[in-house]
Amino acid sequence: MQLHTINTGLFKLDGGAMHGVVPKALWNKLNPSDDNNMCSWAMRCLLVETDGRLILVDTGIGDKQDEKFFGHYYLHGNDRLIQSIQNAGYSPDDITDVFLTHLHFDHVGGAVKRAGEKLVPTFKNATYWSNANHWDWAINPNDREKASFLKENILPIQESGQLQFFEGKDGDTFASGFKVRLVNGHTESMMLPQLEYNNQTILYCADLLPSMHHLPMPWVMAYDTRPLETMKEKKLLLEEAVAQNWLLYFEHDAVNELCSLQQTDRGIRYKDILAVSQL
């Protein structure tokens, strides 16, 4: 297996919403907000080469929305999806699979691009992966998540015929060294890659733990549809992770890409901060 970090740029989200019930006096020390109470977040995807497949995990926010939409999210930083794939030595047409952890706009926006009047898959040779439960949830959105599931990010994938559903259960294999963990707290049936790489296990946390600072149990985003479920899932996965010396990969942490874990008397906390390029 080979892994490449795919940075797609930074955006801003409200610090309070990202930290749930945690008071600003605590989170602001770790992730300082701007004058509008917004903090910077990464959209850090991952390219996984295994079995002769080139699997892109998530796609960032993309570039097809209008200025008004992007005006809410203050995109910054120089990294872009396609450029990062090229920097890793590949062309977008080399991608065989796009593995979508879930269909919120900051994860699936780059999956579809504008071609004249039409919206088409960005990766023309790829199979796009979701699962039936999550897909149904996203195309019939509840009022709380409606603003995160945008039809223009989702429907063109199905119309192209490139969509397939992962039918496995929690812990089943998607590709060599690539298992899928299913969690339901953030949204219905979010899929987390669990990867075996250079004798280490890496859990791609997606929105279960958006950043390294979300390790303590009460640090759960206000966006989550089932926060108590998130806390249970986080507890179980972190216990598994610390017992087996896994590394965690953070999609939204603006600074920290990966960390190892240690058990402390206050709970499970980070130990060393790493990057894929160091493994």
**Least Cβ distance, residue 102 to Zn ion (angstroms):** 6
Stretch near Zn ion under the rule CB under 5 A, chosen from 9-17, 99-107, 230-238, 242-250: 99-107
Stretch near Zn ion under the rule CB under 5 A, chosen from 17-25, 45-53, 177-185, 207-215: 207-215
Please give the residue whose beta carbon sits closest to Zn ion in the complex.
104
Stretch near Zn ion under the rule CB under 5 A, chosen from 1-9, 19-27, 127-135, 206-214: 206-214
Residue with smaller CB distance to Zn ion, 44 or 104: 104
Stretch near Zn ion under the rule CB under 5 A, chosen from 25-33, 97-105, 124-132, 263-271: 97-105
Does 207 sit near Zn ion (CB under 5 A)?
A: yes
**Least Cβ distance, residue 26 to Zn ion (angstroms):** 22
Residue with smaller CB distance to Zn ion, 64 or 186: 186
Whether the CB-CB separation of 9 and 75 falls below 8 Å is answered with yes
**Least Cβ distance, residue 153 to Zn ion (angstroms):** 12
**Binds Zn ion by CB under 5 A, chosen from 104, 213, 234, 252:** 104
Stretch near Zn ion under the rule CB under 5 A, chosen from 26-34, 52-60, 124-132, 199-207: 199-207
**Least Cβ distance, residue 267 to Zn ion (angstroms):** 24
Does 234 sit near Zn ion (CB under 5 A)?
A: no
Whether the CB-CB separation of 69 and 56 falls below 8 Å is answered with no
> In three state form, how does the secondary structure of the chain look?
CEEEEEEEEEEEEEHHHHHCCCCHHHHHHHCCCCCCCEEEEEEEEEEEEECCEEEEECCCCCCCCCHHHHHCCCCECCCCHHHHHHHCCCCHHHCCEEECCCCCHHHHHHHEEEECCEEEECCCCCEEEECHHHHHHHHCCCCCCCCCCCHHHHHHHHHCCCEEECCCCCCCEEECCEEEEEECCCCCCEEEEEEEECCEEEEECCCCCCCHHHCCCCCCCCCCCCHHHHHHHHHHHHHHHHHCCCEEECCCCCCCCEEEEEEECCEEEEEEEECHHHC
**Least Cβ distance, residue 91 to Zn ion (angstroms):** 28
Residue with smaller CB distance to Zn ion, 54 or 221: 221
Residue with smaller CB distance to Zn ion, 49 or 207: 207
Residue in the block written with tokens 């490449």: 4
**Least Cβ distance, residue 191 to Zn ion (angstroms):** 12
**Least Cβ distance, residue 17 to Zn ion (angstroms):** 12
Alpha carbon distance 132, 153 (integer Å): 17
Contacting residues toward Zn ion, per CB under 5 A: 104, 207
